[in-house]
Amino acid sequence: MTDCLRGGWGATTPFTVHWDSSAQAKARLQERVPSGEREVALFDLLLEIFEEQGVSVILR
């Protein structure tokens, strides 16, 4: 899949994202979405994608 989170274009890792208002984002991104053979909250999937791509995330 090539997109802005996994696509090989844009910012080059390693870098760190400082996610302001992350508690509010987590509360709003609880929709369950497929990820491989399981379902996860969208918020958690986004964090997994960042980690897979070598991006550090600081939740604020």
DSSP for 1-59 reads: --STTTSS-SS-SSEEEEETTHHHHHHH---EEEETTEEEEHHHHHHHHHHHTTEEEEE
Task: Enter the pTM of the model.
Answer: 0.82
Residue 60, helix vs strand vs coil = coil
Residues 6+ away with beta carbon under 8 Å from 13 = 53, 54, 55
pLDDT tens-place string over residues 3-54: 666 666 777 788 899 999 999 999 999 999 999 999 999 999 999 989 988 8
User: How far apart are alpha carbons 12 and 54 in whole angstroms?
Assistant: 9
